[in-house]
Amino acid sequence: MIRDSTSACNFGKWIASFNTDSAEIKALVDKTLEPHRKFHQNVRDIKECLGSGNRAAAEKILKGDFALNRTSVFAAF
């Protein structure tokens, strides 16, 4: 299940305690933070659209911003 909270997913739990002395690794991880936040916001937005019966809007988010943010997060991995 995809969670709508950035701190409830496995990555969010891991990042909360992540620490490194490597500037290169830190930069890579930092690059994921904003798309990760947006990804979970997209999940909340999709759930809200579906909850109000607006399937078309949910699909638009899913195929648009959600897909883009998901790709951005996983590309850094």
pLDDT of residue 6: 82
CB neighbour class for 48 (10 Å; exposed up to 12, middle 13-18, buried from 19):
middle
Judged on CB neighbours under 10 Å (0-12, 13-18, 19+), 5 is exposed
Mean pLDDT of 69-74: 88
pLDDT at 27: 93
- Tens digits of residue pLDDT in 25-53: 999 899 999 999 999 999 999 999 999 99
The string of pLDDT tens digits covering residues 53-64 is: 999 999 999 999
